Chains A and B, each alone.
Chain A
Amino acid sequence: MTGLATRQRLPPSSRASSRVTDEPPWVRALLIGIALCFFAIFLLIPLIAVFAEALKKGWDTYIASVSTPDSLSAIKLTLFVAAISVPLNLVFGIAAAWSISKFEFCGKRLLISLIDLPFSVSPVISGLIYVLIFGAQSQFGQALREHGFRVLYAAPGIVLATVFVTFPFVARELIPLMQAQGNDEEEAAVMLGANGFMTFFRVTLPNIKWGLMYGLILCNARAMGEFGAVSVVSGHIRGQTNTIPLHVEILYNEYNFAAAFAVASLLALLALLTLCVKSLVEYFRPENARRAAAGEH
Chain B
Amino acid sequence: MKYPRQFAIALFGAFISAAAITSYADTTLLNVSYDPTREFYQEFNPVFIKHWKEKTNETLTINQSHGGSGKQARAVIDGQDADVVTLALAYDIDALAQRKLIPENWQTRFPQNSAPYTSTIVFLVRKGNPKQIKDWNDLVKPGIGVVTPNPKTSGGARWNYLAAWAYALQQPGGNEAKAKEFVGQLFGNVKVLDTGARGSTTSFVERGIGDVLLAWENEAYLAIKELGPDKFDIVTPSLSILAEPPISIIDKVVDKRGTRKVAQAYLEYLYSPTGQELAAKHYYRPRDEKVAAKYASRFGKVNLITVDKVFGGWGKAQKEHFSDGGVFDQIYEKRK
A-to-B contact residues, CB < 8 Å: 76-77, 80, 83-84, 87, 131, 134-137, 141, 145, 150, 152-153, 155, 201, 235-240, 250, 252-255
Contact of B79 among A83, A135, A255 (CB under 8 A): A135
Q: Is the pair A136, B79 in contact by a Cβ cutoff of 8 Å?
A: yes
State which of B10-18, B87-95, B262-270, B286-294 sits at the interface with chain A: B10-18
Q: Is the pair B78, A80 in contact by a Cβ cutoff of 8 Å?
A: no
Contact of B77 among A77, A84, A136, A237 (CB under 8 A): A136
B-to-A contact residues, CB < 8 Å: 1, 4, 11, 14-15, 18, 21-22, 30, 35, 38-39, 63-67, 75, 77-81, 99, 198-199, 202, 223, 226-227
The interface residues of chain B lying within 8 Å CB-to-CB of A141 are 79
Cα(A134)–Cα(B75), bound, Å = 12
Q: Is the pair A240, B63 in contact by a Cβ cutoff of 8 Å?
A: yes
The interface residues of chain A lying within 8 Å CB-to-CB of B1 are 201
Q: Is the pair B18, A152 in contact by a Cβ cutoff of 8 Å?
A: no
The interface residues of chain A lying within 8 Å CB-to-CB of B79 are 134-137, 141, 145, 152-153
Minimum distance in angstroms from B13 CB to a CB of chain A: 9
The interface residues of chain A lying within 8 Å CB-to-CB of B63 are 237-240
User: Other CB < 8 Å A-B pairs besides A136-B78, A235-B80, 13 of them?
Assistant: A77-B21, A137-B78, A137-B99, A141-B79, A153-B79, A153-B81, A201-B1, A201-B4, A235-B75, A238-B64, A240-B63, A252-B202, A254-B39
Q: Is the pair A236, B78 in contact by a Cβ cutoff of 8 Å?
A: no
The interface residues of chain A lying within 8 Å CB-to-CB of B15 are 83-84
Cα(A135)–Cα(B223), bound, Å = 36
Minimum distance in angstroms from B76 CB to a CB of chain A: 9
Q: Is the pair A253, B30 in contact by a Cβ cutoff of 8 Å?
A: no
Cα(A145)–Cα(B78), bound, Å = 11
Q: Is the pair A236, B66 in contact by a Cβ cutoff of 8 Å?
A: yes
Q: Is the pair A254, B78 in contact by a Cβ cutoff of 8 Å?
A: no
Cα(A252)–Cα(B202), bound, Å = 9
The interface residues of chain A lying within 8 Å CB-to-CB of B226 are 255
Across the interface, name the chain A residue whose C-beta is closest to B1: A201
Contact of A155 among B22, B99, B223 (CB under 8 A): B22
Listed by A's residue number, 15 A-B pairs whose Cβ atoms lie within 8 Å are A77-B21, A80-B22, A84-B18, A136-B78, A137-B77, A152-B78, A152-B79, A153-B81, A201-B4, A238-B64, A238-B65, A240-B63, A252-B202, A253-B199, A255-B226
Minimum distance in angstroms from B308 CB to a CB of chain A: 30
Minimum distance in angstroms from A222 CB to a CB of chain B: 18
Minimum distance in angstroms from A224 CB to a CB of chain B: 14
Minimum distance in angstroms from A176 CB to a CB of chain B: 24
Q: Is the pair A135, B22 in contact by a Cβ cutoff of 8 Å?
A: no
The interface residues of chain B lying within 8 Å CB-to-CB of A134 are 79
The interface residues of chain B lying within 8 Å CB-to-CB of A80 are 18, 21-22
The interface residues of chain A lying within 8 Å CB-to-CB of B223 are 255
B63, B199, B227, most chain A CB atoms within 10 A? B63
Minimum distance in angstroms from A157 CB to a CB of chain B: 10
The interface residues of chain A lying within 8 Å CB-to-CB of B18 are 80, 83-84
Across the interface, name the chain B residue whose C-beta is closest to A146: B256
Cα(A128)–Cα(B211), bound, Å = 36
Cα(A238)–Cα(B199), bound, Å = 19
Cα(A83)–Cα(B199), bound, Å = 33
The interface residues of chain B lying within 8 Å CB-to-CB of A235 are 65, 75, 80
Across the interface, name the chain A residue whose C-beta is closest to B39: A254
The interface residues of chain B lying within 8 Å CB-to-CB of A236 are 65-67
Known interface pairs A152-B78, A237-B63, A253-B198. Does A76 touch B21 (Cβ–Cβ under 8 Å)?
A: yes
Q: Is the pair B65, A87 in contact by a Cβ cutoff of 8 Å?
A: no
Minimum distance in angstroms from A237 CB to a CB of chain B: 5
Minimum distance in angstroms from A57 CB to a CB of chain B: 15
The interface residues of chain A lying within 8 Å CB-to-CB of B78 are 131, 135-137, 152-153
The interface residues of chain A lying within 8 Å CB-to-CB of B65 are 235-238
Q: Is the pair A237, B64 in contact by a Cβ cutoff of 8 Å?
A: yes
Minimum distance in angstroms from B213 CB to a CB of chain A: 14
The interface residues of chain A lying within 8 Å CB-to-CB of B39 are 254
B30, B78, B99, most chain A CB atoms within 10 A? B78
A77, A135, A137, A255, most chain B CB atoms within 10 A? A255
Cα(A252)–Cα(B39), bound, Å = 14
Across the interface, name the chain A residue whose C-beta is closest to B67: A236
Cα(A134)–Cα(B78), bound, Å = 8
Cα(A24)–Cα(B238), bound, Å = 71
Contact of B14 among A87, A135, A240, A250 (CB under 8 A): A87
Across the interface, name the chain A residue whose C-beta is closest to B196: A253
Minimum distance in angstroms from B141 CB to a CB of chain A: 30
Cα(A250)–Cα(B227), bound, Å = 17
The interface residues of chain B lying within 8 Å CB-to-CB of A136 are 77-79
Minimum distance in angstroms from B101 CB to a CB of chain A: 9
The interface residues of chain A lying within 8 Å CB-to-CB of B81 are 150, 153
